[in-house]
Amino acid sequence: VVDDGVVGDLPGAAGLLPRKVARGTADFTRGPAMTREQALQALEGGIEVARDLVSAGNRCLVTGDMGIANTTPAAALVCAFTGADPARATGRGTGVDDATFEHKVDVVRRALAANPVDPADPIGTLAALGGLEHAALAGFVLGGAALRVPVLLDGVIAGSAALAAAAISPEALGACFAGHRSSEPGHSLALDHLGLRPLVDLELRLGEGSGALLALPLLQGAARVLRDVATFDDAGVSTAHA
């Protein structure tokens, strides 16, 4: 568990990594959510966590996140990186009513209007519209890809972070696998843009890595098939017809 930007001070605990960049992010309807320096620090923190996990012997990285209202900046990132309209990319998150949903779409529109981003500057886009967890997850993806370790992505937060990672380094996509398809509409837009096919599609609406974990046995099984199952040549099976 990595603290990238919880507002309060968390007591030390086993497995908790203090990587606090800032105490939350700024109001992105009035300007950038983060400074460029903050986004870079969170990116670098994600890269370091990936490096440390791989150095410890882990052969697959699984993304998870916990953030408050973070499907809203995720929708804004999806719009910025795919060109989608906010009404298509924004979902109901924890299940908001119609009035709150309309407000949420308006917030995404205002954020995009307040932050005219340059498609050629993905780090600037991430800083303007993302949360600290988005930046850290983007770094996590980049770190895993650089070390040639597969990264199994969770839902819409991870999908939007993967858009940023792919914009920073397109080669990183070669390490990414989509664990599942979230019910959040922005996730499907992100997966389509990235060209990733979800391993499971169970209409899940959750985070914390749980959807990706459901797909982990499929990824492990695929790797075992490639490594362990004999080919026709190995088994001496003739393909000639009598």
Confidence of residue 239 (pLDDT cuts 50, 70, 90): low
Residues 6+ apart with CB under 8 A from 236: none
Confidence of residue 241 (pLDDT cuts 50, 70, 90): low
- Say which of 44, 184, 203, 208 is annotated catalytic: 208
CA-based end-to-end distance of the chain: 60
Query: Residue ranges of the domains in the chain?
Result: 2-7+16-221
Q: How far is CA 111 from CA 29, 206, 222, in A?
A: 4, 24, 41
Among candidate residues 89, 185, 161, the one with its CA nearest the CA of residue 153? 161
Confidence of residue 172 (pLDDT cuts 50, 70, 90): very high
Average pLDDT over residues 209-238: 91
pLDDT tens digits for range 90-139? 999 878 899 999 999 999 999 999 999 998 999 999 999 999 999 999 99
Q: Encoding tokens for residue 215?
A: 């797909």
**pTM reported for the whole predicted model:** 0.94
Measured between alpha carbons, how far is 199 from 101 in angstroms, rounded to an integer?
29
Q: Match domain 2-7+16-221 to its CATH number in 3.10.100.10, 3.40.50.10210, 1.10.1740.10, 1.10.3720.10.
A: 3.40.50.10210
Where are the alpha helices (H) located in the chain, listed in sequence order?
36-55, 71-82, 86-89, 98-114, 122-129, 132-146, 156-168, 185-194, 210-228, 232-235
Average pLDDT over residues 67-72: 91
Cβ atoms of residues 214 and 179 within 8 Å: yes
The strand pairing partners of 153, in sequence order, are 178
Is residue 208 flagged as an active site residue?
yes
Q: Encoding tokens for residue 96?
A: 């908001």
91 — phi, psi (to 5°)? -120, -170
State the pLDDT at residue 231. Answer: 86
Q: What angle do CA 151, 38, 192 make, to 5 degrees?
A: 35
Among candidate residues 101, 115, 114, 108, the one with its CA nearest the CA of residue 84? 108
